[in-house]
């Protein structure tokens, strides 16, 4: 299936997308209950406050309300808030609310180097930007700041926004070609196979720390599971898994061995592509190579890397935050033990309240237009405020109201770049958490909730550690260590879906392996692109 989007197509979601319903073409995704556009704009925020033409309004070239607003470059820099630095990182959600109160749906902010950009805070305005690529392009070369030479090669923004020939930076026909291959490749994944891998790797991870009766779930579980599963889905040999997990963690943490870790990953992907040429299989690598898009080997390698990184960091965050919520939130504890609240419900709540990516950077205006009452000029940069949009008072007047089954959050994006791996990410998180709760039924937090901390960067937030304790679990024979084929109905957190039978015994999980330097297999630019992708999350 190729991506159904045309640049100027009506605002239709991809067919079959779980985040959308047929009743919401161009409007809210499935289940959304959005009051009529009025917006905080109409309630009169201060400062350069919005003269909104309605939630998410875009009126190219219109001389209507908002056209007298100052452009981004006309705003006094000294009065704008920074999206980076200690204040922003200490309380990003608080910053978003201040900006919403001051400006409404779309606020001017300063990025690293005090470069101005628009932060989109409104739910509807975010959807408008994501679903209108003819006005809001993914091609960062359009950024006026680039064209005016204001962004140095060493800017911390570069890893995130420097253009590369990849689907994430492409629009139109080129995006359709590359994204079509990625989407078809991911859609070809056997969903039952995903759950089997998750079940097996969860059992292996629990096997490692189970006998001690205590564990730190971010570093011992959440940071391992997605990459272990993804290496199998892309077609990597079994033994690559643990070392790639370590390499990915090393890269994300920006340690001094990051370059060597990157080389290791690139070398592994290069070997994989070479091998699949003569030994194709039922895996993503083979599907990309054989796709009618006619990807070159280099494009296959680079897109495998995009997929691995996009999948890893987001799913790690989703698992960690959902486990934290399950262990600390009375609503979940009570409901889980009563059997009413399911793990999918917990995931939905986290996807609303703690999106794995808080911001997406970005989109670039193709022409002059209006958005949320602000005057956007051609070449302006816009940041998609997923976390801010998810708590927009227009769509969530009562944040305490449960959102079970409502998937109209922004956490997977929307429009032509909407996350193509969301089903896989959800399946990894849901099945992994289900299995963990089944294997360790009396799992509990080992520290007071107030001691849990997060690190924030401008694009995402990370739970630092989640210490837990439980009744020590005896080591099992490998074939006995996975949960039974059908989980007991009363198992805490059981989603209702039977947990698949374990795979045959695998290479035992080897634990952390030091990532040493690998031969210089890659030229500089590739190294840069890996850093750019990691920068999505850690900058």
Q: Is 56 in the site for ligand HEM (CB under 6 A)?
A: no
Q: Is 168 in the site for ligand HEM (CB under 6 A)?
A: yes
Residue from 194, 307, 346, 437 touching ligand HEM (CB under 6 A): that is 307
- Measured distance CA(17)–CA(104) in Å, rounded: 30
Distances (CA, A) of 440 to 93, 213, 472: 33, 9, 9
251-259, 414-422, 446-454, 482-490 -> range binding ligand HEM (CB under 6 A)? 414-422
- Measured distance CA(87)–CA(96) in Å, rounded: 12
- Is-contact 227 244, C-beta < 8 A? yes
Residue from 83, 151, 360, 383 touching ligand HEM (CB under 6 A): that is 360
Given the DSSP bridges, would you call strands 454-456 and 461-463 parallel, antiparallel or unpaired?
A: antiparallel
Q: Is 269 in the site for ligand HEM (CB under 6 A)?
A: no
Q: Is 311 in the site for ligand HEM (CB under 6 A)?
A: yes
Q: How far is the CB of 155 from ligand HEM (least distance, A)?
A: 20
- Is-contact 130 413, C-beta < 8 A? yes
Ranges of H-type helices in 47-187: 86-90, 92-103, 123-131, 144-147, 158-161, 172-187
Q: How far is the CB of 79 from ligand HEM (least distance, A)?
A: 29
17-25, 95-103, 110-118, 178-186 -> range binding ligand HEM (CB under 6 A)? 178-186
Q: How far is the CB of 441 from ligand HEM (least distance, A)?
A: 25
Q: Give the residue from 344, 435, 431, 353 showing the smallest Cα distance to 390.
A: 353
Q: How far is the CB of 472 from ligand HEM (least distance, A)?
A: 31
Residue from 186, 194, 228, 482 touching ligand HEM (CB under 6 A): that is 186
Phi, psi of 363 (to 5 degrees): -135, 155
Q: Give the residue from 174, 192, 58, 79 showing the smallest Cα distance to 127.
A: 58
Q: How far is the CB of 66 from ligand HEM (least distance, A)?
A: 25
- Measured distance CA(522)–CA(533) in Å, rounded: 16
Nearer to ligand HEM, 51 or 198 (CB): 198
- Measured distance CA(479)–CA(519) in Å, rounded: 37
Provide the phi-psi class of 485: left if phi over 0, else alpha when psi is between -120 and 50, else beta: alpha
Q: Is 411 in the site for ligand HEM (CB under 6 A)?
A: yes
Residue from 88, 203, 318, 440 touching ligand HEM (CB under 6 A): that is 318
Q: Is 316 in the site for ligand HEM (CB under 6 A)?
A: no
Q: Give the residue from 417, 307, 318 showing the smallest Cα distance to 362.
A: 417
Tracing tokens 């987001």 back to the chain, one arrives at 314
Q: Is 412 in the site for ligand HEM (CB under 6 A)?
A: yes
Q: Is 491 in the site for ligand HEM (CB under 6 A)?
A: no
Given the DSSP bridges, would you call strands 81-82 and 106-111 parallel, antiparallel or unpaired?
A: parallel
Nearer to ligand HEM, 344 or 421 (CB): 421
Residue from 80, 107, 310, 395 touching ligand HEM (CB under 6 A): that is 310
Q: Is 413 in the site for ligand HEM (CB under 6 A)?
A: yes
Q: Give the residue from 403, 380, 462, 390 showing the smallest Cα distance to 136.
A: 380
Tracing tokens 């391992």 back to the chain, one arrives at 224
Residue 88, helix vs strand vs coil: helix
Residue from 419, 439, 445, 491 touching ligand HEM (CB under 6 A): that is 419
Q: How far is the CB of 163 from ligand HEM (least distance, A)?
A: 13
Nearer to ligand HEM, 186 or 215 (CB): 186
Q: How far is the CB of 286 from ligand HEM (least distance, A)?
A: 16
Nearer to ligand HEM, 217 or 319 (CB): 319
Distance of CA 452 to the CA centre of its chain: 22
Residue from 107, 225, 265, 306 touching ligand HEM (CB under 6 A): that is 306
- Is-contact 467 221, C-beta < 8 A? no
Residue from 57, 315, 390, 534 touching ligand HEM (CB under 6 A): that is 315
Tracing tokens 């039974």 back to the chain, one arrives at 484
Q: How far is the CB of 528 from ligand HEM (least distance, A)?
A: 18
200-208, 338-346, 352-360, 448-456 -> range binding ligand HEM (CB under 6 A)? 352-360
Q: Is 438 in the site for ligand HEM (CB under 6 A)?
A: no
Q: What is the largest CA-CA distance in the chain?
A: 72
Q: Is 356 in the site for ligand HEM (CB under 6 A)?
A: yes
Nearer to ligand HEM, 145 or 424 (CB): 424
Distance of CA 20 to the CA centre of its chain: 18
Residues paired with 376 in a beta bridge: 369
Nearer to ligand HEM, 470 or 530 (CB): 530
Q: How far is the CB of 48 from ligand HEM (least distance, A)?
A: 27
- Is-contact 267 236, C-beta < 8 A? no
Q: Is 420 in the site for ligand HEM (CB under 6 A)?
A: yes
Residue 351, helix vs strand vs coil: helix
Residue 115, helix vs strand vs coil: strand
**Count of other CB atoms within 10 angstroms of residue 279:** 9
Nearer to ligand HEM, 116 or 425 (CB): 425
Nearer to ligand HEM, 45 or 235 (CB): 235
Tracing tokens 């452009």 back to the chain, one arrives at 71
Q: Is 319 in the site for ligand HEM (CB under 6 A)?
A: no
Nearer to ligand HEM, 55 or 316 (CB): 316
Nearer to ligand HEM, 12 or 446 (CB): 12
Which residues of the shown chain bind ligand HEM in the complex (CB under 6 A)?
130, 167-168, 179, 182, 186, 306-307, 310-311, 314-315, 318, 356-357, 360, 411-413, 417, 419-422, 424-426
């Amino acid at each position: 299936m190729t991506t159904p989007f045309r640049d100027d197509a009506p605002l239709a979601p991809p067919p079959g997308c779980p985040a959308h319903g047929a009743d919401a073409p161009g409007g809210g995704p499935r289940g959304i209950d959005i009051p009529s556009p009025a917006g905080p704009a109409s309630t009169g925020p201060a400062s350069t406050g919005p003269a909104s033409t309605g939630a998410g309004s875009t009126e190219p070239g219109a001389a209507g309300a908002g056209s007298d607003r100052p452009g981004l470059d006309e705003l006094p820099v000294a009065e704008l808030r920074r999206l980076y630095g200690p204040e922003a990182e200490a309380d990003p959600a608080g910053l978003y609310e201040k900006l919403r109160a001051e400006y409404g749906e779309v606020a001017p902010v300063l990025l690293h180097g005090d470069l101005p950009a628009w932060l989109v805070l409104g739910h509807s305005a975010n959807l408008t930007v994501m679903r209108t690529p003819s006005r809001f392009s993914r091609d960062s070369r359009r950024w006026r700041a680039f064209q005016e030479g204001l962004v140095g090669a060493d800017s911390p923004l570069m890893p995130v926004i420097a253009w590369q020939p990849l689907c994430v930076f492409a629009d139109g026909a080129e995006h359709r070609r590359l994204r079509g291959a990625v989407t078809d490749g991911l859609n070809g994944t056997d969903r039952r196979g995903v759950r089997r891998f998750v079940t097996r790797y969860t059992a292996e991870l629990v096997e490692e720390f189970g006998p001690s009766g205590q564990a730190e779930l971010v570093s011992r579980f959440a940071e391992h599971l997605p990459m272990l599963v993804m290496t199998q889905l892309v077609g990597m040999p079994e033994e690559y898994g643990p070392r790639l997990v370590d390499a990915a963690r090393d890269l994300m943490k920006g340690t001094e061995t990051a370059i060597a870790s990157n080389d290791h990953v690139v070398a592994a992907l290069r070997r994989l592509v070479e091998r699949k040429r003569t030994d194709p299989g039922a895996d993503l690598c083979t599907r990309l190579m054989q796709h009618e898009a006619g990807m070159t080997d280099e494009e296959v390698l680079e897109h495998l890397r995009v997929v691995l990184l996009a999948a890893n960091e987001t799913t790690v965050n989703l698992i960690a935050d959902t486990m934290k919520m399950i262990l600390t939130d009375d609503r979940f504890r009570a409901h889980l033990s009563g059997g009413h609240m399911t793990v999918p419900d917990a995931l939905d709540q986290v996807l609303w309240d703690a999106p794995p990516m808080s911001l997406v950077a970005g989109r670039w205006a193709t022409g002059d237009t209006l958005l949320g009452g602000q005057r956007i000029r051609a070449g302006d940069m816009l940041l998609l405020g997923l976390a801010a949009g998810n708590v927009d008072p227009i769509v969530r007047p009562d944040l305490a109201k449960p959102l079970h089954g409502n998937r109209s959050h922004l956490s997977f994006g929307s429009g032509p770049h909407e996350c193509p791996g969301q089903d896989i990410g959800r399946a990894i998180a849901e099945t992994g958490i289900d299995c963990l709760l089944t294997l360790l039924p009396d799992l509990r937090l080992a520290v007071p909730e107030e001691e849990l901390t997060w690190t924030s960067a401008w694009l995402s937030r990370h739970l630092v550690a989640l210490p837990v304790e439980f009744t020590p679990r005896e080591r099992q024979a490998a074939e006995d260590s996975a949960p039974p084929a059908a989980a007991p109905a009363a198992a805490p957190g059981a989603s209702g879906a039977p947990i698949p039978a374990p795979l045959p015994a695998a290479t035992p999980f080897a634990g952390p392996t030091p990532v040493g330097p690998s031969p210089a297999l890659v030229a500089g630019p590739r190294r840069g692109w890996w850093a750019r992708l990691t920068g999505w999350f850690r900058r």
